[in-house]
Chains A and B, each alone.
Chain A
Amino acid sequence: MEIDLKIEVGKIELKNPLFLASGCAGYGLEFEDFFDISIVGGVCLKGLSLEESVGNEPSRIWETPSGMINAIGLQNIGIKNFLKDKAPLLRKINTIFIANFFGHKIEEYVKVAKILEDEECIKALEMNISCPNISEGGIHFGVDPLLVHKVVKEVRKSVTKPLWVKLTPSGNIKETARSAYEAGADALVAINTIPAMAVDVEKMDFRISNKVGGLSGPAIHPIAVKMVYDVVGEVPIPVIGCGGVENAENGIEFLLLGARAFQVGTALFYNPNAPVEIIHGIKDYLKRKKLKSVKEVIGRMKAKNKGKDSCS
């Protein structure tokens, strides 16, 4: 039986529902020693900003039970260097590249988006809204539904490429999801890392120089599953699940609840072969369930979503 893994996210056709998550996949060129990058559905590139960003002082990471906290500080080469040094190489690779980007002011988001609009290897833009807005006292864009609406709307007006918004788990995700949708987002990614902290009791100091970091890995997977369930119930646009996926089962959970695709992030750090294993695992699952297409999995549990989530 021929197994069909093809899916669509809006107008973008993908060979399978697996994306490499932004921040865990560099600029898409770092995996050639492990596997052929063209096997994945898509790659969400390391977040880009208008200017190069050097990132935070070390220590930048701390391991926690089944997870890790990171505060890299959105270190990146900047949009100009990306276009000059990386984009020409990406144009030759047969997969979909999504440009993750961020700013600290609405104008910065707009500027970066406009530049990315003209780069042919970029098929969609993924907005990271988990950043402090320096124009409004440092409040994070992503937690305030009004700010989400404002920044997404401004970017939406400026570009024609599909616009994805990566939601933060902070705040009320149903509200921020709705804001992003109403402002014109084409798809939503749920979730970004969860704000977290760890303390070194011997040194009586923070484990991470930035104090706060983002928790990722299997520890956050069940939280991401719940939030994907919430977002799918809230908006009619495609949702992409992200958070702690390390095997096919984790990804299929998102798909069954109605996510159109999923992203693999932290697992790449401890198993660079994870994408190969996960794609293989999805095929096995479809065979076992006697399904021909992964589309038959997507949203299969949606009918069960209604009316069962009273307080727990």
Chain B
Amino acid sequence: MRYLHFEVSSSKRYGDFCEVSLKGNFEPSLPGQFYMLKGEWGSHPLLPRPISILDEEKNEIKFLIKDVGIGSKKLVELKKGEKLSGTGPLGNHFPFERIKKNEEVILIGGGVGVPPLFYLAKTLVGKGVSPIFIEGAKTKSELLLVDAIKGLGLNFEITTEDGSAGKKGVVTLIAEKFRKSANYVFACGPYGMLKSVSEIFSYGKCRCFVSLEERMACGYGICLGCAVKIEEEKGKERFQRVCKEGPVFDSRVVVWK
């Protein structure tokens, strides 16, 4: 990880979302990692915001940021040429290295959980693995990265709660079909969705990994703000840091609320 100053090389706004590209001398990242980002607006909002990496190419790193509050609102309003600081890449990553070409891999994403899974899907496709991507949203207009995911040429399923696109309902309706066959599941999205996914896949041969969120101040392990309860050994629960030991956890060790 490094603490760097970036310049926005491009920013494309889609409703509440903004795709921000940064150029700089950053370290290579892995899918599932994130940056703590903050613009030059002084002390309010004070803290940087954790943002998952959408994609990375030579000299350029991309984020898809949603306006959900005062900090992210400032980030989605950044224009080309504006400066910001970032610490990263941070956290562990989706453990994809051991996946074999013939194994069944399911990616399940909702909302801001979709961008890091896009990065994972792209990486898997590059390794010759073809995952199944399930994206869920409330309604069609809130679906993210649909064309980009289609562009990867994989099996892509959509659910919307109002039925305006894909299958009507939530992601678990489709995920359920793979309960017995999946070798790997990677999920990122709202807490309730992750918990449901965990209930489906945390048994048998399947390895299920979820990327968790928690409020954090530093992102690099010192503030201890982003604690999440993990069962380290049978019957022994302890707080781990989403920013350091996570954000990606084996779904079986998460102590779900």
Contact = CB atoms under 8 A, between A and B. Distances in A.
Contacts of A68: 46-47, 217
Interface string A23-58: 011100010011000000000000000000011111
Contacts of B156: none
Contacts of A33: 1-2, 220
B45 interface: yes
A67 B223 contact: no
A67 B225 contact: no
Contacts of A268: 218, 222
Contact of B225 (A34, A57, A66, A70): A70
Contact of A66 (B3, B46, B226): B46
Given A54-B238, A55-B227, A270 B48 contact: yes
Contacts of A67: 46
Interface in B20-64: 36, 38, 43-48
Given A55-B224, A58-B214, A63 B3 contact: no
A54 B45 contact: no
Contacts of A30: 220-222
Interface residues of B, number: 30
A26 B216 CA distance: 15
A70 B223 contact: yes
Interface in A277-312: none
A61 B1 contact: no
Given A68-B47, A246-B43, A60 B2 contact: no
Contacts of B71: 63
B100 interface: no
B239 interface: yes
A61 B217 contact: yes
B75 to A, nearest CB: 14
28 contacts: A24-B223, A26-B222, A30-B222, A33-B1, A34-B2, A54-B238, A55-B224, A55-B227, A55-B239, A58-B215, A58-B227, A59-B214, A60-B226, A61-B225, A63-B45, A63-B46, A66-B43, A66-B44, A66-B46, A68-B46, A68-B47, A68-B217, A70-B225, A72-B223, A268-B222, A269-B217, A270-B46, A272-B218
User: Nearest 9 pairs between A and B by C-beta?
Assistant: A61-B225, A269-B218, A66-B43, A269-B217, A26-B222, A218-B43, A272-B3, A72-B224, A60-B225
Interface of A: 24-26, 30, 33-34, 54-63, 65-68, 70, 72, 75, 217-219, 246, 266, 268-273
Interface of B: 1-3, 36, 38, 43-48, 71, 85, 87, 214-218, 220-228, 238-239
